[in-house]
Structure 1
Amino acid sequence: MKIHHIAIICSNYEVSKKFYTDVLGLHIIREVYREERRSYKLDLGIGDQYVIELFSFPDPPKRPSHPESCGLRHLAFSVESVDEKRRELMGKSLECEEIRFDEFTMKRFFFTQDPDGLPLEFYEM
């Protein structure tokens, strides 16, 4: 078994689409507008892997708290260098936390967030 994709509902489709494609660098696999739901569905990939399904719905509820609510705590991406990824994202005007060290895995990581406040972790391979 393996994970097929992660579904995210955003509050502003165009802002989130730009964030996940232009800022994070995911590529669009397929984009569909569903008239009956007044909703976009955007399939995004990293390399040849389908990873994120981005949805827009009219008036979605806000995230209940940040980040300790029940449900998805954060989304983590594996990167070669957290230093380079952090510099890249900050160069695109994204606020990033300081780099931390995981004492159990001996790996470095940092957090930022998407336009709706979903915590995003970048973890060094």
Structure 2
Amino acid sequence: MTPPTDTPLLGIHHVAVIGADYARSKAFYTQVLGLRVLDENYRAARDSWKLDLALPDGSQLELFSFPDAPPRPSRPEAQGLRHLAFRVAALEPMIARLAAAGVVCEPIRTDEYTGRRFTFFADPDELPLELYEIG
């Protein structure tokens, strides 16, 4: 299949995450990672919360809660979404911020193709997250 020469896609608008414990996930993404709340709504018909969070580049993360949501197997090599990566200017300040909140990061690695440094950590539901240094 030949890739198109142009695409109407402009970028990623949002990524959606379902947390097992809404309050815990909200605290992690807002207080630990520092994402700004755009909107928060309780949807009574679904007994569900929806929290819209902003990243500085204009993209968003949507955090949902659903009663009795089943866990999803999530291993780095499983089919489906492998991980969510956040761009950072420098790894060390964010790693220190995470460590202060009790979040453990893997040892820093270097991408063999780009030469960029990165590390992985997990959210409260063990969703694999990455910090990718662009500085």
Normalised by the length of structure 2, the TM-score is 0.88
**Aligned residue runs from structure 1 range 1-125, under 5 A:** 1=9, 2-47=11-56, 49-125=58-134
Give the greater-gyration-radius structure (CA): 2
Q: Which runs of 4+ in 1 moved over 3 A?
A: none
23-32 or 49-58, which moves further after superposition?
49-58
* C-alpha separation in 2, matches of 1:110 and 1:47: 20
Higher strand share: 1
Aligned-pair distance for 1:48?
6.1
1:11-66 deviations in whole A, cap 9, x for unaligned?
A: 10000000000000001000000000000000000236241011000111112132
Unpaired segments of 5 or more residues in structure 2?
A: 1-8
* C-alpha separation in 2, matches of 1:51 and 1:69: 25
What's the secondary structure of 1:15's corresponding residue? Answer: helix
111-120 or 47-56, which moves further after superposition?
47-56
Q: How many residues align?
A: 125
Letter of the 2:71 partner, please give it.
K
Aligned residues: CA RMSD: 1.1
What's the secondary structure of 2:45's corresponding residue? Answer: helix
Letter of the 1:56 partner, please give it.
S
Q: Percent identity?
A: 53
